[in-house]
Amino acid sequence: MDMKKSIKIIISYVMVLGLAATNTGMFNANAYDDVAVGKKLAKEIGIQIDSDESARELTDLSLINAREMPDIILDEDNAIKQINGLVSDVTVDSVKDVKEVIQNVSNLFGIDNVDNEIQFNRLDSSLYNDTYDFIQYYDGVKVENAHIKVVVDKDTKKAHFLNNSYVSDLSLDTTPVISGDDAEEIVFNTYNTEASEDTKLVIFEDQEASEYKLAWHVSTKSCEPCNVYINAADGSIIYAEMNTEDYDEVPTTYTSYQNPLLLNPQNPILNSTSFKVDISKEDTKYILHDTKRNIYMLNIHTDCTQIAPFMAVSTTTPSASSNYAHLATLYNVEKTYDFYSKLNWKGINNQNSNICVIAEYDPEENGSFPNAMSDGNVLYFGVGGLVEGKGCKATQNWGTELDIVAHEYTHSVTRNKVNFDCYGLGNGEARVLNEAYSDIMAEFIDETPEWQHGTDQYINNINKNTCDPKQYQTRDIAGSTLKYTDSGFSDLEFHKKSVVISRAAYLMDQFGISREDNARIWFTSLDYLTPNATFADCRTALVNAALQVAKYWTYGERMDCMYKVKTAFNAVGVMDPTDKIGDVDLNGTVNSADFNLLVDYCIGNTKFTAPVQKYLSDVNFDNKLDISDLVLLKSMIS
């Protein structure tokens, strides 16, 4: 299931590669053949290089990493996907500098012209990193989901990670045979829905044909389907993204809701903010405007750009007589906004743009929309519950649940920061990660953290157990056994698949990583991900993020944090194939000597000399060493 390949090579230029040395035995930096070195490195890594320039780039990578190759992660085609380590010795202060970084490894990725083939997309500045995202273009046409992301340490100003989904060796005609209007007409005739925005010409991978094609990307108003890719050569439908949103079943009886925080005259959020309220209209439409955070809370469905005509001139403070559900929704959005502000992220797009929130969203006007959603710029919260998949009129307002609000808000954040591929293409893991990150960050924001959703307002109405779908609508999360490697995992609905990743976050919490550090690690990990990220990429991102968050801790604390992250992912079946679990003595094999050494450690007769030994000894992945590890290690050997 895990297509990741990773290798770390320790280079001894004199002994291993037979490079020139002086008579005194000292290494002569001017006497070796950098092309020969690079070709040997390529052979060790398992990649094909087609030029001397590529060989030299590999040699340079080893030199700037103190003669040790960074982690080179390959994709299923044995092409370089990630460089995890110093990418260049260029000091980065601008986009121009980052392009120079990419230029220094461009031959390894098959990029002929950096200036023409990639375009700067955005810069995200987090607590620890500046992340530069570039989009690939071919003959002036965007290649869908093809990115190069360069992560720069804010302190050293050096690029220490490069994530690549660049598509090399493209060769196709970029002149469309059919027009964008033709494509929209095909979509209308096929699905009876109109385009919601300008139709764009892109290069899109036809996975059934295993080739890239020129296509028109049509986004629709109905979202049934949401996005359609029309072959620009013959008008055939390459792909249609259907709305497969599944609703979780919730009880049909509810208790009344009054958020005590809203009734508190000393409320630290609501009473420190002025609101513009228009309640004079006969149709009862109104707007609450948080002027400090630029949040607009509406009980109407309108575009944020059309807010002005509805605004009243009066300014007031909400009182206990105001609509509890709407004030609670606004309060929850404000809490989430403040949480992300502490992570150096402003609003939903890091530009502090308007946040538009629709309360009591009811597009069918039948009194029930039992769901919540985000389209990247607007947050929608419906009303009602579900009975056997059918809507029913009920008192629940989905915006009154802090973790549900935080979940949808996080969808907007990740859409702007990573833009996970939610079309279900490839192995679909990016779509699963999209759900997992919303669940995880919502738990860090939740005022009553219990790793479940929907427990703030109605204590028994659990919408989702984010640790284990097998424990659905219960509070017992300790007995989860769901793993990435389980048979039948691939058949699960994507919301339930996401629990594998959210359980890793839960285990990190259980292993002793503080709630604040855990939140920082997960948010920072987004710096390292691209739209088509996999579970393996997520693990790599979390390890890198943990090292960044802990970079000023003691060496022992930093290693302990990193290995807790690795162990949590091991426990849910997302493992690094290069880790030799059980190799206690670090000699490359697992045998009786490892068992005997672990026995000596457990009874106090010896100490480990390297932090990695404790990690590799934890063969049952519970972040402790005891008799159960000895029993399991014994069975592995026998």
The partner residues of 178 in beta bridges, in order of sequence, read none
For residue 107, the tally of other CB atoms under 10 A from its CB is 19
Q: Residue 311 pLDDT more than 60?
A: no
Please indicate, yes or no, whether residues 128 and 189 belong to a single structural domain of this protein.
no
From 416, 450, 471, the end of a domain falls on 416
In a shared domain, residues 266 and 348: yes
**Chain segment 139-189, per-residue pLDDT in tens:** 999 999 899 999 999 999 999 999 998 998 899 999 999 999 999 999 999
Is the confidence at residue 484, as pLDDT, over 80? yes
Categorize the per-residue pLDDT at 304 as very low, low, confident or very high, splitting at 50, 70 and 90: very low
Could you tell me the pTM of the whole model? 0.83
The reply to whether 577 falls in a domain is no
Q: Are residues 403 and 443 in the same domain?
A: no
Number of domains in the chain: 5
- Asked if residue 170 is part of any domain, the answer here is no
> Can you give the pLDDT at residue 318?
40
- CA 103, distance to chain mean position in Å, is 26
In this model, does residue 356 exceed pLDDT 90? no
Q: What is the pLDDT of residues 414-460, one digit of tens each?
A: 999 998 877 655 568 999 899 899 989 998 998 767 777 655 543 33
What's the pLDDT at 295? 84
Task: For residues 240 and 638, give the distance between their C-alpha atoms in angstroms, rounded to a whole number.
Answer: 51
State whether 511 and 495 are in the same domain.
yes
pLDDT over 90 for what percent of the chain? 47
Assign 469 a pLDDT band (cuts: 50, 70, 90).
very low
pLDDT at 87 over 70: yes
Question: Is 186 among the domain residues?
Answer: yes
CB 201 within 8 A of CB 216: yes
- Is the domain of 468 the same as that of 490? yes
Give yes or no: residues 11 and 149 share one domain: yes
Regarding whether 207 and 96 lie in a shared domain, the answer is: no
Has residue 413 got a pLDDT over 90?
yes
Reported as a pLDDT band with limits 50, 70 and 90, residue 93 is very high
Query: Is the separation of the CB atoms in 106 and 529 below 8 Å?
Result: no
CATH assignment of the domain containing 391 = 3.10.170
Same domain, 205 and 276: no
* pLDDT value of residue 42: 87
Please, which residues have CB within 8 angstroms of residue 400's CB and are 6 or more apart in sequence? 257, 259, 324, 325, 328, 329, 332, 456, 457
Are 64 and 24 members of one domain? yes
**402 and 327 within one domain:** yes
- Cα separation values, 266 from 159, 260, 339, 418, Å: 47, 11, 20, 38
Lowest mean pLDDT, pick from 166-170, 368-372, 394-398, 583-587 = 394-398
In terms of pLDDT, which residue wins out, 270 or 448? 448
What are the tens digits of pLDDT across the range 359-370? 777 766 665 677
Q: Are 293 and 359 in contact (CB under 8 A)?
A: no
- Say if 264 falls within a structural domain: yes
Q: Summarize pLDDT for 54-66 with one digit per residue, the tens.
A: 999 999 998 898 8
Q: Count how many Cα atoms sit within 13 Å of the Cα of residue 341 in the half-sphere of its side chain.
A: 10
Q: Which residue has the higher pLDDT, 171 or 327?
A: 171
Lowest mean pLDDT among 68-77, 561-570, 594-603: 68-77
Q: CA angle 197-202-205, nearest 5°?
A: 120
| Residue-level pLDDT at 222 | 72
Domain that holds residue 561: 418-571
Residue 200 has what pLDDT?
A: 95
Residue 340 predicted with pLDDT over 80: yes
Residue 258 predicted with pLDDT over 50: no
Confidence bin at 481 (pLDDT 50/70/90): low
Per-residue pLDDT at 299 = 57
Identify the residue with better confidence: 524 or 296: 524
Helix/strand/coil for 600 = helix
Name, in order, each residue with C-beta under 8 angstroms of 12's C-beta and a sequence gap of 6 or more: 67
What are the tokens at 9? 């090579």
> Residue 326: inside a domain, yes or no?
yes
Side-chain-facing half-sphere of 103: CA atoms under 13 Å: 11
Q: Are 27 and 92 within one domain?
A: yes
In a domain, residue 248? The reply is: no
Q: What is the mean pLDDT of residues 525-552?
A: 95
Q: Which of 43-47, 77-81, 281-285 has the lowest mean pLDDT?
A: 281-285
Number of neighbouring beta carbons within 10 Å of residue 493: 11
| 255: confidence class by pLDDT, cuts 50, 70, 90 | very low
Mark which of 381, 416, 451 sits at the end of a domain.
Answer: 416
Is 254 domain-assigned? no
The pLDDT, as a whole number, for residue 489 is: 78
User: Does residue 583 form part of some domain?
Assistant: no
Residues 285 and 221 in one domain: no
Average pLDDT over residues 386-401: 53
Confidence check: pLDDT of 389 > 50: no
Highest mean pLDDT: which range of 83-97, 359-373, 466-480 = 83-97
pLDDT tops 60 at residue 590? yes
Q: How confident is the model at residue 480 (pLDDT cuts 50, 70, 90)?
A: low
Residue 256 pLDDT > 70: no
Q: For 200-204, 208-212, 398-402, 515-519, which range has the lowest pLDDT when averaged over its residues?
A: 398-402
pLDDT of residue 22: 37
**Mean pLDDT, the chain, integer:** 79
